[in-house]
Amino acid sequence: MIEIDRITKVYNGVTAVDAVTMTAESGTITVIVGTSGSGKTTLLRMINRLEEPTSGEVRINGESTLATKPHLLRRRIGYAIQGHGLFPHHSVARNIGAVPRLLNWPKEKISARVDELLTLFSMEPDQFRDRFPAELSGGQQQRVGVARALASRPDVLLMDEPFGALDPIIRARAQDDLRRIQRALGSTIVLVTHDMEEAIRLGDMVAVMDGGQLVQHAPPAEIVTKPATGFVADMVGDMERPLRLLSLVPLSEVMEDGDAPGEALPADSSLRDALSACLWTGRTAVPVERDGLPAGRVTLDAIRARAELGA
């Protein structure tokens, strides 16, 4: 659990972060979203003391971050950044093992951990271990960057626009991977982005920053249906709201018994996917399958009812 308590950062008389208080529960993803200059990155960097707070404090699992020397604190907190920041002169294995090496893990434990992480990120260890960052694709570099941040099993993972440099298709895959890995490991993640779509897609909680202040901190559905200020509404986008909302609801929630013609969708895809399939193929209902077996159907009316609820 990360407790941020009235934390403030002032640069040369300009307040970048203004008395922000919020809590990120263990095992959840909190996404901080805002425009550039909103103070979101400064807020993130104060958690591992890359920026020293002007006032206020951060507690991780109840312990103040001020109680530990900054570099020792950072070794316990994973940190992944935009453009991956891999060391170009080190192999993939040395990059991933960087923090464990700082913590003086024994060699065998480090190499076992490296292989475990490469496998987790769907990269064949024998094939990738000894490559250099310049020999990887952008998506692979980014995965190695996140793997490096997770290497020492940190209490907390901080991510600063980790997918910012990726093209849309790779980015969507990277987001799915992160969700899957976070579920598997139960890590606590705080992620910064300027992309509301990404925030809604990834976040268990979304924190919207504007002008150094935290304007809303709520689950994604609430951000979409009840934006606290005009700024939040703008970030969500009026026209997009029903679609954003539908993208949060899995088919299993509105599924009914019965059958429908055409190709089936998996039960964990969203209502937005189902709506899209209905419109594109001119159907009024789509069949749903779970583990490859027919499970029921979702009708266009049910989707519409769910989208109107938000109004």
Q: How far is the CB of 78 from other proteins (least distance, A)?
A: 8
Nearer to other proteins, 89 or 183 (CB): 89
Q: By rule CB under 8 A, what string of x and - marks binding of each residue 35-64 to other proteins?
A: -------------x-x--------------
The total number of residues shown for the chain amounts to 311
Q: Which amino acid is at 285?
A: A
Nearer to other proteins, 88 or 186 (CB): 88
* 5 bridge partner residues: 57
Q: How far is the CB of 88 from other proteins (least distance, A)?
A: 5
* Of residues 59-118, those binding other proteins (CB under 8 A): 70-76, 79, 81-89, 91, 98-99, 102
Nearer to other proteins, 15 or 132 (CB): 132
Phi, psi torsion values for 237, nearest 5 degrees = 90, 115
Nearer to other proteins, 49 or 283 (CB): 49
Output the CA–CA distances (angstroms, integers) from residue 296 to 109, 158, 288, 301, in the order listed: 48, 40, 5, 15
The half-sphere exposure of 293 on its side-chain side, counting CA atoms within 13 A, is 2
Nearer to other proteins, 165 or 172 (CB): 165
Q: Are 43 and 7 in contact (CB under 8 A)?
A: yes
User: How many Å apart are CA 148 and CA 156, to the nearest integer?
Assistant: 13
Q: Which amino acid is at 224?
A: V
Q: For binding to other proteins (CB under 8 A), which residues are involved? A: 48, 50, 70-76, 79, 81-89, 91, 98-99, 102, 132-135, 145, 148-149, 158
